[in-house]
């Protein structure tokens, strides 16, 4: 390349850019995309579209417990694990197994927490989740989840996009791509974050992958103003703002017409959304106006960064017709290397941070008549080992990553309430009955939204892609 | 940028707008683009308390926010 005359090399470089491709390909892909865009240009890409068949649910609230909560301490009691606590794990279970941290032969670790049956369904829930117990008859516990990934980032990417490597669209993106959103003044896919830090998978967890980026999740800030710069600069009236945006839109549309890159369409839509959010967001985030009873139910404190505030915001978003709301709460990675990440101290504090608000969300949605039309999902990216990790002979109790079996719960949106689905073996190591993999979960949630997971596709690199790719079965026993 | 458009762009509003395009997207505006921006300028300049610099600031704000100015093509 460096020996080519300068002019030629710059032409070659130009030929390689995406925009140049769109412009030059004439009757090729650029023109095809352009035709499709021109048809759609009158329509907001987020306009609500009917589902493929009558849907049970209209919205999803996904409570992503990043870091991976321990199923054997929360939702899947194992009396035998307690009985054999401290003994070596049976060799046949771990033969050839590769762990993230455990070395040698680990010892079984019975849960130090008590489980009791609750509700008329008799669901078994840990003492660490007292509020969830109160809504046990509204949730379904899935004890037979499994995944292929045993490190946080790829596991979170897999749980969100159906593939362990970044680049595929997330579930929320597929949802808004398929159904649009019923709320035109707010993004159709909103992400709210609390807990120790950002999810390990990063922003790709709510990325649009190869779908037009108008469908990617929009992250609100978790502290202070959820969205910045909502007011116009001093001296700029709302009318002037609108007229400026009109000119900007005209110029961008002319650019789109000559160029055809769908990402320009995304930018136009995003400017218009930002304009509408100038009035819709202050109203949305003003949770102080909620009655005292609601704040007591959730444990919310306006202005504070908390999972509880985010749960209340999630209800307010769904109430306004937002399609997909995803909350992240990071911190469940309880390896037991210190008192800050063990199951005796840290796990109970995490439950305190989240239990009340998650249960409140279910009750509150129900009171607002929204639970039937909203799927609520709770869960992490994998489970935790039934064995103590004891990294570097740590005295703190903790568990390593465990992809073979873990628990999640779902509620509302046409899922059967008060059910405990699937079984693990006596030690909670492997699944014994009704396995549910990540694609099955996706297929089932899409089904509740009126989408056939095999038919919601997007052509990319010469083939049709879908959230479940070539796998996934709707778990009919759950719905 | 509005100050530069005034100081370096020339005497007429049209020339100043053309210079604004050069500064943001390194090219001359098309006839339609120039007309669109000029109309916007006239609309804003007719408002009470408007000044040339204020109005060119609004123009500069729009130009800097176009997809073409933001995106490397």
Name chain A contacts of B54, Cβ cutoff 8 Å: 235
Residue B66 · residue A251 · CB < 8 Å: yes
Supply the range of the domain harboring residue B33: 2-70
- Say what the pLDDT of residue A1 is: 33
Most confident of A57-66, A195-204, A236-245: A57-66
Inter-chain residue contact A240 with B40, CB threshold 8 Å? no
Residue with tokens 């829930």: A125
Q: What percent of chain A has pLDDT over 90?
A: 77
Question: Could you read off the pLDDT of A406-438 as tens digits, one per residue?
Answer: 999 999 999 999 999 999 999 999 999 999 999
Across the interface, whether the CB atoms of A255 and B65 are under 8 A apart is answered no
Q: What is the pLDDT of residue A357?
A: 98
Nearest chain A alpha carbon to B47? A240
**In A75-149, which ranges are continuous DSSP H helix?**
79-83, 91-94, 130-134
pLDDT in tens, A254-296: 999 988 888 888 899 889 999 999 989 999 988 889 999 999 9
Q: What's the rounded mean pLDDT across residues A50-77?
A: 97
Distance CA A52, CA A5 (A): 56
More confident residue, A37 or B34: B34
**How far is A202 from A142, CA to CA, in rounded Å?**
26
List, in sequence order, the alpha helices (H) in A75-181.
79-83, 91-94, 130-134, 152-161, 171-179
CA closest to B54 among chain A residues: A235
Contact A204, A166 (CB under 8 A): yes
Provide the mean pLDDT of chain A.
90
Give chain A's contact residues with B (Cβ, < 8 Å). Answer: 17, 19-20, 235-236, 240, 243-244, 247-248, 250-252, 254-256, 263-264, 267-268, 271
C-alpha distances (whole Å) from A332 to each of A328, A382, A422 are 11, 11, 23
Classify A316 as helix, strand or coil: helix
Rg (CA), chain B: 12
pTM above 0.95, yes or no: no
Best CATH choice for the domain A22-228+292-478 from the list 3.40.228.10, 3.10.110.10, 3.40.720.10, 1.10.645.10:
3.40.720.10
Collapse the DSSP code of A449 into the 3-class scheme (helix H, G, I; strand E, B; otherwise coil) and give the result.
Answer: coil
Averaged pLDDT for residues A27-40: 46
How many structural domains does chain B have?
A: 1
- H helices of A6-164, in order, are 6-16, 18-24, 29-40, 71-74, 79-83, 91-94, 130-134, 152-161
User: Measured between alpha carbons, how far apart are the two ends of chain B, in Å?
Assistant: 22
Structure tokens at A164: 């362990």
Q: Which position has the token pair 């593939």?
A: A163
User: How is residue A286 written in tokens?
Assistant: 């003003």
Which has the higher per-residue pLDDT, B37 or A38? B37
B40, B66, B73 member nearest A252 (Cβ) = B66
- Min Cα distance B34 → chain A (Å) is 10
Q: What is the mean pLDDT of residues A142-167?
A: 97
In chain A, where the domains are located: 22-228+292-478
- The beta-carbon neighbor of B62 closest among A236, A248, A254 is A248
Q: Say if the ipTM goes beyond 0.90.
A: yes
pLDDT band at A28 (very low <50, low <70, confident <90, very high): very low
Chain B residues with at least one Cβ partner in A under 8 Å: 30, 32-33, 36-37, 40, 43-44, 47, 54, 58, 61-62, 65-68, 70-71, 73
pLDDT of residue A416: 97
- For residue A120, the model assigns a pLDDT of 94
pLDDT for A353-381, tens place per residue?
999 999 999 999 999 999 999 999 999 99
The residue in chain A having the minimum alpha-carbon distance to the alpha carbon of residue B59 is: A244
Does residue A42 have a pLDDT over 60?
A: no
Q: What is the reported pLDDT for A228? A: 86
């Amino acid at each position: 390349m460096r020996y080519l005359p300068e002019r030629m090399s710059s032409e070659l470089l130009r030929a390689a850019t995406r925009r140049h491709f769109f412009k030059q390909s004439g009757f090729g892909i650029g023109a095809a995309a352009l035709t499709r865009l021109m048809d759609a240009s009158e329509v907001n890409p987020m306009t609500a579209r009917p589902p493929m068949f009558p849907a049970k649910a209209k919205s999803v609230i996904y409570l992503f417990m990043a870091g991976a909560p321990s199923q054997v301490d929360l939702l899947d009691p194992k009396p035998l694990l307690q009985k054999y606590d401290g003994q070596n794990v049976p060799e046949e279970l771990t033969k050839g197994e590769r762990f993230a941290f455990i070395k040698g032969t680990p010892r079984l670790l019975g849960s130090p927490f008590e489980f009791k049956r609750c509700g008329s369904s008799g669901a078994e829930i840990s003492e660490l989740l007292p509020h969830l117990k109160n809504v046990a008859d509204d949730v379904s516990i899935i004890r037979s989840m499994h995944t292929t990934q045993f490190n946080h980032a790829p596991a979170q990417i897999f749980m969100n996009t159906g593939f362990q490597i970044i680049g595929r669209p997330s579930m929320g993106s597929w949802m808004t791509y398929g159904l649009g959103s019923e709320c035109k003044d707010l993004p159709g896919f909103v992400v709210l974050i609390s807990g120790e830090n950002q999810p390990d998978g990063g922003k790709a967890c709510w990325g649009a992958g190869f779908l037009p980026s108008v469908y990617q999740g929009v992250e609100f800030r978790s502290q202070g103003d959820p969205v910045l710069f909502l007011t116009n600069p001093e001296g700029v009236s709302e009318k002037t703002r609108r007229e400026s945006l009109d000119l900007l839109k005209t110029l961008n549309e002319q650019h789109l017409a000559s160029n055809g890159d769908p990402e320009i369409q995304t930018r136009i839509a995003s400017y218009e959304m930002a304009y509408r959010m100038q009035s819709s967001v202050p109203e949305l985030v003003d949770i102080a106006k909620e009655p005292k009873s609601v704040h007591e139910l959730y444990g919310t404190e306006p202005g504070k960064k908390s999972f509880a505030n985010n749960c209340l915001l999630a209800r307010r978003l769904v109430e306004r017709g937002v399609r997909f709301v995803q909350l992240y709460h990071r911190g469940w990675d309880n390896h037991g290397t210190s008192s800050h990440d063990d199951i005796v101290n840290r796990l109970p504090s995490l439950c305190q941070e989240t239990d009340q608000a998650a249960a409140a969300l279910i009750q509150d949605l129900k009171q607002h008549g929204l639970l039937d039309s909203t799927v609520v999902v709770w869960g992490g990216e994998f489970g935790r080992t039934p064995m103590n990790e004891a990294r570097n002979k740590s005295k703190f109790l903790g568990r390593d990553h465990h992809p073979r079996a873990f628990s999640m719960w779902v509620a509302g949106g046409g899922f059967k309430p008060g059910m405990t689905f699937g079984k693990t073996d006596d030690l909670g190591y492997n699944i014994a009955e009704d396995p549910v993999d990540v694609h099955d979960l996706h297929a089932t949630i899409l089904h509740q939204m009126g989408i056939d997971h095999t038919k919601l596709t997007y052509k990319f690199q010469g083939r049709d892609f879908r959230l479940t790719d070539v796998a996934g079965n709707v778990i009919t026993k759950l719905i | 940028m509005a100050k530069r458009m005034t100081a370096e762009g020339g005497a007429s509003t049209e020339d100043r707008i053309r210079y604004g395009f050069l500064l943001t997207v390194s090219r001359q505006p098309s006839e339609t683009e120039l007309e669109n921006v000029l109309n916007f300028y006239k609309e804003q300049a007719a408002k009470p308390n408007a000044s040339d610099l204020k109005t060119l600031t609004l123009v500069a704000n729009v130009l800097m926010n176009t997809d073409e100015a933001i995106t490397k093509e």
